[in-house]
Amino acid sequence: MAATAVPSDHPYARSHPEIRDAVRQLCSKFDGAYWRKLDRERAYPTDFVRALTEAGWLSILIPEEYGGAGLGISAAAAVLEEIHAAGCNAAACHAQMYTMGTVLRHGSAAQKQRYLPKIATGELRLQAFGVTEPTSGTDTLSLRTQAVKKDNSRYIVNGQKIWTSRAEHSDLMLLLARTTPRDQVKKRTDGLSVFLVDMRAALGKGLTIRPIRTMMNHNSTEVFFDNMEVPAENLIGEEGQGFRYILSGMNAERILIAAESLGDGRWFIEKATEYAKQRNLFGRPIGQNQGVQYPIARAYIAVQAAELMVRKAASLYESGINCGEEANVAKLLASEASWQAADMCVQTHGGFGFAEEFDVERKFREARLYTVAPISTNMVLNFVAEHVLDLPRSY
């Protein structure tokens, strides 16, 4: 894409070019055939995740004192964007980057020292995030999973979570559960607590994991808690303040998912552009037709515009400025631009867009997810309407 030709010292050049180059080189070892095989078998990309871990990319946000690179979110965004722009998929491990943020920001000194160094090396995988439930969806404050404290040494957890991705490939889970009944709290946001669950110890002892087969290879599951014990020392921060702790990490998640969508958009545009140049019908390249050119150009423009908002959100986040508006807007714009590019890419390829060997149909399915998760477009619109424009709360 032409934007990559901007000089590196230009204010609108993509950040961290050295990181991008290194990530691209790593991704070149995992071609389309690798991902197609995984997709057919619904398998986990173990070799790819191991390579990212060994290169230090998944610990890029962990401070140096705990064995990470200690870089900012713009660097993490560059890693994820390039993974997707190279035709790979970071969904199998991206939570390893940001889920640890709750421990980093709100965990005790002992918890940080115990877990973060091992998360940095990949010895421990913290990729499972237990929040969404079947009956509450994105209405987090209505969740029903309960954690009841017993003899000051442990909590007993009962309930269920759904869409808990990577639970089968994670050692630890960040779990949000209700520790005070809703009718006993003054504010709806009170009474929720965050726990770090050692899934290795709990599996088969109150913890059950059931895979959910979806339209893309996303390793998603539903998890069940039946009198599962969690040591009291695994409570993160203060009891009852969990919702606030979770919220503090959501801006990072939105920015990084937006970066992945940018990468997908760039991949679709590059793929469609090359095909339009090479595919000849009626004696000329199909890219010579405006009916083919214009959708590609529009997709490119949409991705370029979304990229500016992603950069703005990342810059504010790194400056310690509240960026809830920008992070949500960036996620919406990037995911919708990516989906626009995906639809365009299939249309440009025609029947070949549905052929497995071109990888377009796989990436098409993967890109569609991010207009729904981790927060849907409608929820972002609700947030902007109510919290930015101060419109009445919708129902």
pLDDT score for 83: 98
Give per-residue pLDDT as tens, 124-142.
Answer: 999 999 999 998 766 777 8
- Give the DSSP letter string of 247-272: HHHHHHHHHHHHHHHHHHHHHHHHHH
Give per-residue pLDDT as tens, 225-245.
Answer: 999 999 999 999 999 999 999
Give per-residue pLDDT as tens, 33-75.
Answer: 999 999 999 999 999 999 999 999 999 999 999 999 999 999 9
Domains observed in the chain: 2-121 (1.10.540.10), 126-243 (2.40.110.10), 247-388 (1.20.140.10)
Give per-residue pLDDT as tens, 337-388.
Answer: 999 999 999 999 999 999 999 999 999 999 999 999 999 999 999 999 999 9
- Give the DSSP letter string of 33-79: HHHHHHHHHT---HHHHHHHHHTTGGGTTS-GGGTS----HHHHHHH
The DSSP letter of residue 187 is S
pLDDT score for 2: 45
What six digits make up the tokens of 340? 């626009």
Q: CA–CA separation, 48 vs 94, rounded Å?
A: 12
**Helix axes of 360-368 and 242-278: crossing angle, nearest 10 degrees:** 150
7: pLDDT strictly greater than 80: no
Q: Where are the alpha helices (DSSP H) in the chain?
A: 17-27, 32-41, 46-54, 73-85, 95-98, 101-106, 109-121, 199-202, 242-278, 290-318, 324-349, 360-368, 377-383
8: pLDDT strictly greater than 90: no
pLDDT score for 208: 98
Give per-residue pLDDT as tens, 248-284.
Answer: 789 999 999 999 999 999 999 999 999 999 999 999 9
The mean pLDDT of 308-314, rounded to a whole number, is 97
209: pLDDT strictly greater than 90: yes
The mean pLDDT of 282-303, rounded to a whole number, is 97
**Amino acid found at 111:** Q
Mean pLDDT of the chain: 94
pLDDT score for 137: 67
Q: Which residues have CB under 8 Å from 336's CB, separation 6+?
A: 302, 306, 371, 377
